[in-house]
Amino acid sequence: KQEVTQIPAALSVPEGENLVLNCSFTDSAIYNLQWFRQDPGKGLTSLLLIQSSQREQTSGRLNASLDKSSGRSTLYIAASQPGDSATYLCAPDTGANSKLTFGKGITLSVRP
């Protein structure tokens, strides 16, 4: 059974800092891993998807890395802004287009 851990549960940083959000998972037999953003009371917005054969994926100020063998992924946010404040969730996919398993997420607050 896949289990996903995201630590810490909450993070507060000043604007402009570069930061790293960590995600660990127990079953390394994954097809891909997605990072999502969730604003309060809203649905999930897909940020990045890393395929199992990839090591990194980049979109703007976001960079996600994947180390499948060690069961770890990181989301790097460069030059953080107050608009980045949200909860960030990672979700590995252990089946072909199948169910995602989520951690509890990391709630990020970027102070102006």
Partner 1 sequence: DAGVTQSPTHLIKTRGQQVTLRCSPKSGHDTVSWYQQALGQGPQFIFQYYEEEERQRGNFPDRFSGHQFPNYSSELNVNALLLGDSALYLCASSWGGGVQSNQPQHFGDGTRLSIL
Cα–Cα separations (whole angstroms), residue 89 to 30, 39, 74, 100: 16, 11, 11, 11
Positions in the binding site for partner 1 (CB under 8 A): 4, 31-32, 34, 36, 41-46, 49, 51, 89, 91, 95-105
Nearest distance from C-beta of residue 30 to partner 1, angstroms: 11
CB closer to partner 1 out of 31 and 76: 31
Say if residue 50 is exposed, middle or buried (CB neighbours under 10 Å; 0-12, 13-18, 19+): buried
CB 21 to partner 1: min, Å: 14
Name the residue nearer to partner 1 (CB basis): 37 or 84. Answer: 37
Nearer to partner 1, 96 or 112 (CB): 96
Cβ contacts of residue 2 below 8 Å, gap of 6+? 25, 26, 27, 92, 94, 101
CB nearer to partner 1: pick between 16 and 95: 95
CB atoms within 10 A of CB 67: 12
